[in-house]
Structure 1
Amino acid sequence: MTVKLSLASLKDAAATAAVPAYDPKNLTGGIVHFGVGNFHRAHQAVYLDDLFNTGKDHDFAIIGAGVMPSDAAMREKLKAQDFLTTVVEQDNNRTAARITAPMVDIIAPDQKEALIEKLADPAIRIVSMTITEGGYFIDASGQFNPAHPAIAADASNPQNPETVFGLILAGLKERKARGVPPFTIMSCDNIPGNGEVTENAVIGLARLSDPDFARWIHQNVAFPNSMVDRITPATGQREIDILRNDFNIDDNWPVFCEEFKQWVMEDKFPAGRPRLEEVGVQFVPDVAPYELMKIRILNGGHAAIAYPAALLDIHFVHEAMEHPLIRAFLAKLETDEIIPIIPPVPDTNLHDYFALIEHRFLNPKIGDTIPRLAQDGSNRQPKFILPSTRDRLAKGLEIVGLSLVSALWCRYFAGTSDSGREIVFNDASADKLHAAALEAKDNPEAFLAFDEIFGEVSNSELFRKRFAHALATLWKEGTAKTLELYLSGELVK
């Protein structure tokens, strides 16, 4: 018999899934989190669930904060099951389900006043976020963009904010007025120096309307850097059905993820924090080496395989890795061009780390998809691929493979796979990229004209030459033959 997930049904669900060792009704909120999506519920929420299972820090439960219209639907689905989530962890030889309960509420997008009041609550000591790379209003150079329309709107009307950062500022201002110490602001997104990037966004927005307040934030608010890692695909009917059929649990929005997880963080929490080091979080003086390793090797690896796989009509990530040309392409790219320019990481062998990444990408149970990896490239390419290109150019090194990655992305945005199958885009800049990619078939420079994406890299004569040759080869020979030429060392003109 299928169990409909709720607090009342936890005992029945325990027949097939691990359940909390604590009483969720005894938790109190200490963290407000923006972006209660799959990654958050498979990562930060799982670490907190592990900690709460030890009987500690039950005053650091999560209160979700909705900003986007889609957050309202998420709230309704999770509220209907008492904010519980079934997390299905899958490795090649193991699948296990657990029910997590560290979330006690989600404040809906239309409850702005209630959210600001909660942000002003002294019990809230951390405000965290997973708002994707595109949510930080940064340009190709990684700098905060004060001219973005959403930022300009919040700057002109700070009493009625619409962005995450505008809402955070409203909460901080209210705390300051009440004499309540500020909370720590913690990014959990895949951005180099995510703490600094978040600080620049918060202070940059404040400076536009209240420079004195911006200075107060700089002096009083902590923004720890962190590196987060767990492969977590989107939830669809496939995942809902697997949970129902294999575990007899009916969950409105379960989360499927790999078994592996990692969280490395700076210990900068003046308002206090949960004892996450007791459940595997690494607190280190400098996160930068770890995050650079992860962003360049893992996220860069995802970006590298996404577009050749899409052009070859491959849907799942593990299937892409089973394709001999794609797997060999990734290995050569990482070994020849990406790993050699990554600085040393404490107690870590970079080639062993890449071997782990290969194993994770090959996991067939995750069901991670190429469309997920291919989405939002206009934000991901400048963060995951082009920095490696830029660093190699600065050292006078060859960039054949990295230029090919950019050319594959351009070819993808022409809108059809090698077989003629239509490609469905998921990118805020899709229309502009599509038009430029079509023009680039005859004029490669058209695609490189996006300064907000390519930045200084597009000024390199070598990059323009390598990009143009790779793109022309893709159009003439197709994806598979182009990969063969790269692997044989013949993709050089």
Structure 2
Amino acid sequence: MTCKLSLATLAEAAKTATIPAYERASLKAGIVHFGVGNFHRAHQAIYLDDLFNVGSDHDWAIIGAGVLPSDAAMRDKLAAQDFLTTVVEQDNNKTAARVTAPMIDILPVGEPDVMIAKLADPEIRIVSMTITEGGYFIDASGKFNPAHPAIAADGQNPAAPKTVFGLIVAGLKARKDKGIAPFTVMSCDNIPHNGVVTANAVVGTAKLSDPAFADWIKANVSFPNGMVDRITPATSQREIDFLKENFDIEDNWPVYCEEFKQWVLEDRFPMGRPALEKVGVTFVPDVTPYEHMKIRILNGGHAAIAYPAALMDIHFVHESMENDLIRAFLAKLENEEIIPIVPPVPDTSLADYFKLIERRFLNPKIADTIPRLAQDGSNRQPKFILPSTLDNLRQGRDVVGLALVSALWCRYFFGKSDSGKDIVFNDASAERLHEAAVKAKDDPAAFLAFDDIFGDVAKSELFRKRFAYALKTLWEKGTKETLQLYLDGKLAV
């Protein structure tokens, strides 16, 4: 018999899933987290659940927060089940469910006074976030854009902010005014030097209304960099139904993820932190080597296979990796143009790391989708692909494969697959990208005109030539034959 998930039904859920070994009533909040989406609940929340399960650090529970309509919907769904989440971990050879309980509340969306008051609570010592790569208001060079309308609005009305960064600034200001030490701000998003990026956003937002306070934040608030990793697909009705049918648990928004997870953090937490090293988090002085490895090899790999797969009408990630052309394309790209420019990582073989990535991409149980990988390319390409392109160019290396990735992205934004099927875009810049991609069929330079995306890469004569030839080949011969030409070493001119 199916049980509807709640604190009252944990004993029933325990028949098919692992449940918390701690009493939820024993927890006290120490963290406010913005962006209570799937990745957060499969990653940061899991580590805390593991820590609480061993009887440690029960004063570091999570209070969720958000600023988007989707955050309000998530709050409603999770509140109805006492903020519990069922996480289904799926390896190639097993599937297991666990109920997690490290979150004790989610703040109401659209009530800045309530959020600021909680941020000013001295018990809150960390404010963390998973707000996606596009949530940081940065351009292709990684610079914060204070002119963005949402940020500018917070600068004009700092007492009633509507962005995450405006709220953080207001929370820090309230703490300073009360003589309370500032919390640590911790990004959990897949962005190079995410702590630095977050610091720039917070300081840049504060500068619009109070330059002196912006300087105080820069001098007194810690923003540790971190590398996070766990493949976590979106939840659909399919996943909700699977949980009911196989585990007899009714969860409004379960999370599915792979078994593998990794978290590397710089140990800069002046107000203290949970002892996450007890449950597998790696604390290091400098996270840069780890994030280079992960963002370029894994996230770059995802971005590379997304568009050829979409153009070939492939829906699932594991199916794309079962395609000989796409798998060989990824391997050649990684081994010739991505891995060689990734700096060494302590105690890590990059070749072995890529083999692990291939295995993870091939996991059929995750059912990760190509549309998910293909979404938000205007934010992901400048972070996951184009930095590798630029580094190759600066080192005098060729970029045949990486230019092909950019050409595939352009061809994708024309809006139809090779078979003529319509492509549904999920990108804040979809309209301008589609318009440019249509023009690029005859004038490839039209797609490279976006300085906020391509930056210095588009200034390279070699890149422009490689991109133009790859795009021309895609139009003349199609995706499959173009990939084969690349594999045969016949795509460059």
Judge conservation of contact 2:298–2:357 (CA < 8 Å) in 1: yes
- The structure 1 segments of at least 4 consecutive aligned residues displaced by more than 2 Å after TM superposition are none
Q: Equivalent residues in 2 for 1:63-462 (5 A)? A: 63-462=63-462
Amino acid at match of 1:455: G
Write out per-residue CA displacement over residues 67-91 of structure 1, whole angstroms, 9 at most, x where no aligned residue. Answer: 0011111000000000000000000
Q: Percent same amino acid at aligned positions?
A: 75
Write out per-residue CA displacement over residues 200-221 of structure 1, whole angstroms, 9 at most, x where no aligned residue. Answer: 1111111121111011111111
Amino acid at match of 2:300: G
In 1: Cα distance, 2:213 partner to 2:492 partner: 54
The alignment partner of 2:294 has SS state of helix
Structure 2 regions of 5+ residues with no counterpart? Answer: none
In 2: Cα distance, 1:54 partner to 1:368 partner: 31
In 2: Cα distance, 1:163 partner to 1:91 partner: 37
TM-score (norm. length: structure 1):
1.00
In 1: Cα distance, 2:31 partner to 2:213 partner: 23
Amino acid at match of 1:301: G
Cα drift, residue 159 of structure 1? 1.1
In 2: Cα distance, 1:25 partner to 1:72 partner: 24
Cα drift, residue 157 of structure 1? 1.1
Residue 21 of structure 2: aligned partner = 21
Aligned length: 493
Write out per-residue CA displacement over residues 389-433 of structure 1, whole angstroms, 9 at most, x where no aligned residue. Answer: 000000110100000000000000000000000000000000000
In 1: Cα distance, 2:327 partner to 2:110 partner: 46
In 1: Cα distance, 2:492 partner to 2:218 partner: 49
The alignment partner of 2:89 has SS state of strand
Write out per-residue CA displacement over residues 337-365 of structure 1, whole angstroms, 9 at most, x where no aligned residue. Answer: 00001110000000000000000000000
Residue 48 of structure 2: aligned partner = 48
Cα drift, residue 116 of structure 1? 0.6
Judge conservation of contact 1:29–1:59 (CA < 8 Å) in 2: yes
In 2: Cα distance, 1:394 partner to 1:250 partner: 53
In 2: Cα distance, 1:219 partner to 1:338 partner: 36
Cα drift, residue 111 of structure 1? 2.2
Judge conservation of contact 2:184–2:269 (CA < 8 Å) in 1: yes
Amino acid at match of 1:29: A
TM-score (norm. length: structure 2):
1.00
Judge conservation of contact 1:28–1:61 (CA < 8 Å) in 2: yes
Judge conservation of contact 2:31–2:61 (CA < 8 Å) in 1: yes
In 1: Cα distance, 2:349 partner to 2:16 partner: 38
What do you get for the CA RMSD once the two structures are aligned? 0.5
The alignment partner of 2:30 has SS state of strand
In 2: Cα distance, 1:273 partner to 1:430 partner: 40
Write out per-residue CA displacement over residues 64-121 of structure 1, whole angstroms, 9 at most, x where no aligned residue. Answer: 0020011111000000000000000000001100000000000121222111100000
Residue 478 of structure 2: aligned partner = 478
Amino acid at match of 1:139: D
Amino acid at match of 1:284: V
Cα drift, residue 4 of structure 1? 0.6
Structure 1 regions of 5+ residues with no counterpart? Answer: none
Judge conservation of contact 1:161–1:167 (CA < 8 Å) in 2: yes
Judge conservation of contact 2:110–2:162 (CA < 8 Å) in 1: no
The alignment partner of 2:471 has SS state of helix
Comparing 335-344 with 139-148, greater Cα deviation is found at 139-148
The alignment partner of 2:270 has SS state of coil
The alignment partner of 1:478 has SS state of helix
In 2: Cα distance, 1:215 partner to 1:492 partner: 50
The alignment partner of 2:32 has SS state of strand
Write out per-residue CA displacement over residues 304-325 of structure 1, whole angstroms, 9 at most, x where no aligned residue. Answer: 0000000000000000000000
In 1: Cα distance, 2:361 partner to 2:108 partner: 35
In 2: Cα distance, 1:25 partner to 1:115 partner: 22
In 1: Cα distance, 2:48 partner to 2:458 partner: 43
Write out per-residue CA displacement over residues 169-202 of structure 1, whole angstroms, 9 at most, x where no aligned residue. Answer: 0100000000011000000000110001100111
Cα drift, residue 453 of structure 1? 0.1
Judge conservation of contact 1:67–1:108 (CA < 8 Å) in 2: no
Residue 32 of structure 1: aligned partner = 32
Cα drift, residue 145 of structure 1? 1.1
In 2: Cα distance, 1:71 partner to 1:193 partner: 25
In 1: Cα distance, 2:118 partner to 2:267 partner: 24
